[in-house]
């Protein structure tokens, strides 16, 4: 836990929701982190935590982990989660956390809401959704678990769909979009931008 976050939590008698990562190579001990065993939902690039905390409040019997690389956004999320026992925040690069820190078959559902689209062709390689990323997501998902993806970028949407179609470990469905709004979801909706949703459900490859 960063010192200032810890002392802030201490001063206000609020438990910190930030995960203190003890090792960058050992898998997370989720039971210890949450203090209980429950299905895990993970919000990748959770931003200010609006979506994460609203959903965690709606579904108290599941554990929610928000992963975000920007410190100020993690802190904002942690403040929103102060009264929610079922939320934890991890300041980390999402691909790394999924690949190296989440235990195999530990996640019931991932959310990837409005990932940075990097619209310029020369920046496409910075996009988070790649074949390797999908393969790490697949390993971390429980049987029949899924990832919900939302984007306002049509080109990125088709690219993600194409990558998912070439991975036999996923069935493509339509996400149940009866979900709380995220900050960017709200912004795009107010602008009237078309929002595309995808659900990639883990399936066993046909033998």
Binding residues (CB under 6 A) for ligand SAM: these are 45-47, 67-70, 73, 93-95, 113-114, 116, 128, 182-185
Contact between residue 98 and residue 57 where contact means Cβ atoms under 8 Å apart: no
**What is the C-alpha to C-alpha distance for residues 12 and 1, in angstroms, rounded to an integer?**
16
Q: Least CB distance from residue 127 to ligand SAM, whole Å? A: 9
Which pair of tokens denotes residue 205?
A: 């490859």
Choosing from 29, 116, 132, 176, which is the catalytic residue?
A: 116
Is 26 designated active site?
no
Measured from the CB atom, the residue of 93 and 176 that comes closer to ligand SAM is: 93
Contact between residue 113 and residue 85 where contact means Cβ atoms under 8 Å apart: no
The CA–CA distances, whole Å, from 62 to 38, 92, 101, 152, 163 equal 5, 21, 19, 28, 29
Q: Least CB distance from residue 128 to ligand SAM, whole Å? A: 5
Measured from the CB atom, the residue of 70 and 171 that comes closer to ligand SAM is: 70
Measured from the CB atom, the residue of 33 and 203 that comes closer to ligand SAM is: 33
| Ramachandran quadrant class, 123 (left: phi over 0; alpha: psi -120 to 50; beta: rest) | alpha
Q: Least CB distance from residue 184 to ligand SAM, whole Å? A: 4
* Residues identified as active-site: 116
């Amino acid at each position: 836990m960063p010192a200032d976050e810890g002392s802030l939590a201490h001063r206000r008698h609020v438990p910190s929701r930030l995960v203190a990562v003890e090792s960058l190579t050992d898998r997370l001990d989720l039971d210890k982190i949450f203090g209980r065993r429950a299905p895990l939902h993970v919000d990748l690039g959770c931003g200010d935590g609006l979506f994460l905390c609203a959903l965690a409040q709606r579904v108290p019997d599941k554990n929610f982990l928000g992963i975000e690389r920007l410190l100020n956004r993690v802190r904002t999320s942690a403040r929103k989660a102060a009264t929610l026992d079922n939320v934890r925040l991890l300041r980390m690069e999402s691909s790394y956390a999924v690949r190296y820190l989440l235990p195999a078959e530990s996640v019931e559902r991932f959310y990837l809401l409005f990932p940075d689209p990097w619209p310029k062709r020369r920046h496409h390689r910075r996009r988070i959704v790649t074949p390797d990323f999908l393969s790490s997501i697949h390993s971390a998902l429980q049987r029949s678990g899924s990832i919900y993806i939302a984007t306002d970028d049509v080109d990125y949407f088709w690219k993600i769909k194409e990558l998912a179609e070439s991975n036999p470990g996923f069935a493509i469905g339509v996400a149940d979009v009866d979900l709380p709004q995220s900050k960017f979801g709200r912004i795009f909706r107010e602008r009237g931008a078309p929002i595309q949703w995808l659900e990639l459900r883990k399936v066993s490859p046909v033998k």
